[in-house]
Each structure stands twice: as C-alpha cells, then as structure tokens.
Structure 1
Amino acid sequence: MWKASPPPQIPTDAQDRITTALGKLNNAGMEKAADAVEIIAEVPRYQRSQPPEGMDTAPSLDGPEGPQEGGER
C-alpha cells in the first residue's frame, strides 16, 4: 500500500483522514483524488504562504504568467 510522509505542517487529524481515505481507493480512485487535490491546491484561499521545506518552488513553464517565449499573446 502507498504511504507518503506528509509535510510537517499538516495537522495530524487531516493527515490521518487523508491516509485512511486513500487506503480505500483503487488506482482509478487515486487518480481522481490526485486531480481533486491539484485543483484545490490552485485556490489561493488554501495555499500556504511558504512552500514546505524541500518542495520545488520553481515556476512551471505554463504558470500564471503563461509561456515566456514563443507563446501566443
């Protein structure tokens, strides 16, 4: 069974609930859960002011500013 080590800022109750729920899912359910978390993570209200230590903070190529070169304007 997949078990991730959570960032230290996650409250234990939330971590336990997430881990328990993920343990009930098949592969298709895990994909849906990952999609849902990615959507929630884009909502400013739910974002941390600082990323967890060790997380990549480099902007994505298609971030909020859009493509840097060669993209449509």
Structure 2
Amino acid sequence: MPNKTYVLGHIDRIENRHKNNPSAQLNSKWRIASNQDLFDDLDTGGNLTELQVNKIDGFIAQVKQTGGKNIK
C-alpha cells in the first residue's frame, strides 16, 4: 500500500499542483519510474529520455484505467 499511495500522490501532483510546471512534472515522473523500477538504466540525476517519459505516461494511464492494480 505505501507504493500505491506514493505513486498516486505523484500522479495527483502531476495533474494538479504541478499542472503548469513541466520541470516539477518530470521530477514526479522520475520518482514514479524509480519507485516502480520501470527502467534498468534510469539516470540517478533525475533526467529522463523522451522514450522514458512516454513509457511513464503509459504507466500512469494504466494506473488510472486499473485503479492502480499495476502498481508494485
């Protein structure tokens, strides 16, 4: 449950609090990717490739579709 709360919290930040702050949105996306081990090659400095951003966006869409059942 802690991971689910953490991930859902960052999704809420992306969609609400960070709505007009692309840098903060990317930070939350990086944190989701890190928490969920989405990539073997995740940059420890917080940088994301365009491909990684797209995959994270897909993960977020799945979270919304499944009610978070895909969260580890």
Q: Which has the higher helix share?
A: 2
- If the length of structure 2 is used for normalisation, what is the TM-score? 0.33
Please say which structure displays the higher CA radius of gyration. Answer: 1
Higher relative contact order (Cα pairs below 8 Å, separated by 6+ residues): 2
